[in-house]
Structure 1
Amino acid sequence: MNLYEKIINKEEKISVVGLGYVGMPIAVAFAKKVDVIGFDLNESKINQYKSGIDPTQEVGDEVIKNTTMEFTTNEARLKDARFHIVAVPTPVNIDKTPDLNPVEGASVIIGRNLQKGSIVVYESTVYPGVTEDICVPILERESGLKCGVDFKVGYSPERINPGDKVHRLENITKIVSGMDKESLDEIAKIYELVIEVGVHRAGSIKVAEAAKVVENSQRDINIAFMNELAMVFDRMGIDTQEVVEAMGTKWNALGFYPGLVGGHCIGVDPYYFIYEAEKLGYHSQIILSGRKINDGMGAFVGDAIIKKLIQANKVVKQAKVVILGITFKENCPDTRNSKVVDIVTRLNEYGIEPEIVDPQADGETAKKEYGLDLIPFDMVENADCLVFAVAHEEFKNMDINQIDKLFGNLPNNEKVIIDIKSILNKDQILESGYSYWRL
């Protein structure tokens, strides 16, 4: 009997190491079919899950309450699993080099508890070669076992889009790979238990690793192109959104828009690719240039805010700027690598301490990550400038009267609205006489 059969017969268990935005959905999905051990080092997070609370909002409290998954911070429980999925974050350091500490740490923990006959599958985003060249030696060292003889490894990149209620785990094709045909077959069959649309079997682990960083690098480059256009069109006095709408009438238009590129994937993954390329003597030109453009958009927006404040006859250092949204994307509580923070930093350089509102974000996390305090929506008043930074539904549904109440007793031409995501009715705003700018 192979491992797949033992798992579906509940003779063996699956473990998921790292229960965040990626790990939790896959763990919950498997728990509907087989026995799952969910492991995370964060005791507070585990306690929330045990209490039926989903801080990620990816699967929802009701699902967490009803799941059969075992939540634990006790690494010894991993000894009872034979199929391990690693779903820990892989951020970048300050110098933009890959920070492999989380994935290396997870490998140490799994290695200490690894049993013969196991398969370890990494889902964390890495550059090609990390699984076999960095993680396998750690697993062997910690376990005393031999890869290919006592255990096997594979790689299956995560493709979950946080906050997206349409493209979900079960309907996104899953790339799977294994170190040999036997492990690939086992990994594919196990993932097919929860991936309704099926899996794509990559030719090697390195191909699967590369596919992940490349698909996000491709999006990054396309957005960078639109951001560069937005900066040029701003100087030309041309509305970028109107250009995009006109261009979009052609059948092969790609449908990308300018914006802030943050989060744990698109704003990070290209640096993994660039890092490995430079180790091999190739200096990235397109990808690195795209990253520089996108990393600079927060400062560009900050400067646009200052310009509009001056045009509205505001004393810049005394202006009250309120930023609506700090998460890296709409309708999601995730604040990782938020580029809204870059806007705050730029405004700070001009002596402005903006107020920040985000009904989706966790205030404690924002304080811990960025040292920023969030205020309740109902505390916003007497604003000189509103910055719509994130397209949360709460902001998209605001009408002109609700927006106006957030300003002070000013003539409309002194009320500045910055619409980064182009969620407002431009014609209505301009007809009302507001000072308006959008990216």
Structure 2
Amino acid sequence: MNLYNSIKNKKEKISVTGLGYVGLPLAISFAKVADVVGFDISKEKVSQYLNGIDITKEVGDETIKQTTALLTWEEKYLKDCKFHIVAVPTPINADKTPDLKPVINASKTLGRNLTNGSIVVYESTVYPGVTEDICVPILEQESGLKGGVDFKVGYSPERINPGDKVHRLESIVKVVSGIDEESLETIAKVYELVVKAGVYRAKSIKVAEAAKVIENSQRDINIAFMNELSIIFNKMGIDTKAVLEAAGTKWNFLNFNPGLVGGHCIGVDPYYLTYKAEQIGYHSQIILAGRKINDDMGKYVAENAVKSMIKADKQVKGSTVAVFGITFKENCPDVRNTKVVDIINELKEYGIETKVIDPVADKDELWNTYGIELCNFEEISDIDAAVFAVPHNEFKSIRLEDIKKIFNQRWNGHRDTTTEVHDSNFNNKYVLIDIKGIFDKKEAEDMNFQYWRL
């Protein structure tokens, strides 16, 4: 507890390694009550923060400008800290196996700068055993110190929900764990400085690691069930949203909806658990089945977009489709592991050109990761179909009348430039793929839209 008191009295510092969607809010929040060093290997990212630009949109430009946290890309400042938090991403490889390189490299960096009496807490999502079996040996090797004796470790799974302005770090119960009772209490007290909702002391580090990985696996499986229902009901000509609204009147019906499952958590974490299960001789059935369904939904949406175009007498090859939204979820700039890209790639297989509109997405990350450029709504015209993939708040104000204006006007496949165009003159409709149901289905169909949603 001496370390806790030293942090509270600002005699010792906290470090946060990894200043992304999780680490940045952590550093900013802790800086309100303690001395904090925020470290990230990306000089470009840190430079943006130092210029008062919050590229994550999680804390806001003004908050970054006012923070007392030292934000840096120089690891030497880590030596000044005693309580270290690791919040780096833990993605998956192309073969769906865990990519632990970020957390391993972060451990090496911390190890080089670790001092006697320190505590290292990992927040990155991992499978049970990574903290103690992989990270601790790295810290020991790099520092020359002995884990559990010269330094302590803990695990506290991140629960920040990017883009969510209600469920924040301060308002979500924090699970904490430590290598022993002393470190557990110190870790718990330090987090209680900022987490007003309180902390939950897990029985062990492995319990805390497992709790995190099943939280998102559970959600993934439930969404996969909804996606499967959507596929079934679509074949039966039944509106899935209407079915869920009816079923939702029962008190214990779980409120999940079909959709694209991407991002750095729900679309990734289950593979960490199934990887570890394979290592101990168990092949997952339910978890991997859910993953298979959700991983295929981008292709499924694209196929139904093409079917809708055919029903509307649209020529598929050489057509243009406007895609509204490309981030992995609404109101969040993060494009990591977004399944909207799967839709775009599948449409290209049919010879379709896509134009992407997203007022929220990180343009630089989108270009660097996928080679996709964004368009403004005002630049879009002569489209053959519109796909609303992500329900950003900005899109909810768009009217169906406005969408009609950006469609091309063709008669038997040829543009009509000589006569006034009326919907009744055309056997081809306005194709609208509304994945999450932003628009009213009946209103859209009454306005001559070929409407489809999950």
TM-score range, shorter chain: over 0.9
Query: What's 2:304 paired with?
Result: 304
Asked whether the equivalents of residues 216 and 270 of structure 2 are also in contact (C-alpha less than 8 Å), the reply is yes
Asked whether the equivalents of residues 326 and 389 of structure 1 are also in contact (C-alpha less than 8 Å), the reply is yes
Query: What's 1:416 paired with?
Result: 431
In 1, the alpha carbon distance for the partners of 2:192 and 2:405 equals 52
In 2, the alpha carbon distance for the partners of 1:162 and 1:15 equals 21
Query: What's 1:246 paired with?
Result: 246
Shift of 1:374: 1.4
Q: Deviations over 1:212-255 (max 9, x none)?
A: 00010000000000000101111111110000000000000100
Asked whether the equivalents of residues 359 and 377 of structure 1 are also in contact (C-alpha less than 8 Å), the reply is no
Query: What's 1:181 paired with?
Result: 181
1:120 partner letter: V
1:316 partner letter: V
Asked whether the equivalents of residues 8 and 34 of structure 2 are also in contact (C-alpha less than 8 Å), the reply is yes
Query: What's 1:274 paired with?
Result: 274
Q: What SS class does the counterpart of residue 84 from structure 1 fall into?
A: strand
In 2, the alpha carbon distance for the partners of 1:90 and 1:314 equals 43
Asked whether the equivalents of residues 262 and 338 of structure 2 are also in contact (C-alpha less than 8 Å), the reply is yes
TM-score of the superposed pair, with normalisation by structure 1: 0.99
The question of 1:426 aligning with 2:441 is answered yes
Shift of 1:436: 0.6
In 2, the alpha carbon distance for the partners of 1:135 and 1:171 equals 29
Of 410-419 and 41-50, deviating more is 410-419
Query: What's 1:217 paired with?
Result: 217
Asked whether the equivalents of residues 384 and 414 of structure 1 are also in contact (C-alpha less than 8 Å), the reply is no
Query: What's 1:437 paired with?
Result: 452
In 1, the alpha carbon distance for the partners of 2:114 and 2:389 equals 45
Q: What SS class does the counterpart of residue 135 from structure 2 fall into?
A: helix
Q: Deviations over 1:403-423 (max 9, x none)?
A: 222212356442100000101
Q: What SS class does the counterpart of residue 317 from structure 2 fall into?
A: helix
Matches within 5 A, 1:281-430: 281-409=281-409, 412=423, 413-430=428-445
Q: What SS class does the counterpart of residue 14 from structure 1 fall into?
A: strand
In 2, the alpha carbon distance for the partners of 1:230 and 1:102 equals 37
Matches within 5 A, 1:116-265: 116-265=116-265
In 1, the alpha carbon distance for the partners of 2:407 and 2:123 equals 46
In 2, the alpha carbon distance for the partners of 1:406 and 1:40 equals 43
In 1, the alpha carbon distance for the partners of 2:400 and 2:233 equals 27
In 1, the alpha carbon distance for the partners of 2:182 and 2:377 equals 55
In 2, the alpha carbon distance for the partners of 1:276 and 1:337 equals 21
- Which 4+ residue blocks in structure 1 deviate beyond 6 angstroms? none
Asked whether the equivalents of residues 8 and 33 of structure 1 are also in contact (C-alpha less than 8 Å), the reply is yes
Shift of 1:353: 2.3
Of 210-219 and 370-379, deviating more is 370-379
In 2, the alpha carbon distance for the partners of 1:375 and 1:423 equals 21
The question of 1:59 aligning with 2:59 is answered yes
Q: What SS class does the counterpart of residue 375 from structure 2 fall into?
A: coil
TM-score of the superposed pair, with normalisation by structure 2: 0.96
Shift of 1:200: 0.5
Q: What SS class does the counterpart of residue 139 from structure 1 fall into?
A: helix
Shift of 1:425: 1.2
The question of 1:71 aligning with 2:86 is answered no
1:376 partner letter: N
Of 4-13 and 394-403, deviating more is 394-403
Of 249-258 and 361-370, deviating more is 361-370
In 2, the alpha carbon distance for the partners of 1:401 and 1:146 equals 67
Query: What's 1:45 paired with?
Result: 45
Shift of 1:138: 0.2
2:32 partner letter: K
Shift of 1:310: 0.6
Q: What SS class does the counterpart of residue 62 from structure 1 fall into?
A: helix
2:289 partner letter: S
Matches within 5 A, 1:75-90: 75-90=75-90
Query: Percent identical across equivalent pairs?
Result: 64
In 1, the alpha carbon distance for the partners of 2:402 and 2:16 equals 45
Shift of 1:371: 1.5
1:422 partner letter: G
Q: What SS class does the counterpart of residue 398 from structure 2 fall into?
A: coil
Shift of 1:277: 0.2
2:2 partner letter: N
In 1, the alpha carbon distance for the partners of 2:57 and 2:363 equals 15
Where in structure 1 are there 5+ consecutive unaligned residues?
Answer: none
In 1, the alpha carbon distance for the partners of 2:313 and 2:404 equals 19
Asked whether the equivalents of residues 417 and 435 of structure 1 are also in contact (C-alpha less than 8 Å), the reply is yes
Asked whether the equivalents of residues 319 and 351 of structure 2 are also in contact (C-alpha less than 8 Å), the reply is no
Shift of 1:335: 0.5
Q: What SS class does the counterpart of residue 366 from structure 1 fall into?
A: helix
Shift of 1:402: 1.6
Q: Deviations over 1:360-398 (max 9, x none)?
A: 012221111112121122111111100000000111111
In 2, the alpha carbon distance for the partners of 1:415 and 1:197 equals 48
Asked whether the equivalents of residues 416 and 436 of structure 1 are also in contact (C-alpha less than 8 Å), the reply is yes
Asked whether the equivalents of residues 318 and 353 of structure 2 are also in contact (C-alpha less than 8 Å), the reply is no
In 2, the alpha carbon distance for the partners of 1:224 and 1:41 equals 36
Q: What SS class does the counterpart of residue 374 from structure 2 fall into?
A: coil
Query: What's 1:5 paired with?
Result: 5
1:420 partner letter: I
In 2, the alpha carbon distance for the partners of 1:47 and 1:282 equals 46
2:157 partner letter: P
Where in structure 2 are there 5+ consecutive unaligned residues?
Answer: 411-421
1:414 partner letter: K
Query: What's 1:101 paired with?
Result: 101
In 1, the alpha carbon distance for the partners of 2:41 and 2:6 equals 28
Tell me the C-alpha RMSD between the 2 structures: 0.9
Of 412-421 and 64-73, deviating more is 412-421
In 1, the alpha carbon distance for the partners of 2:253 and 2:429 equals 38
2:453 partner letter: R
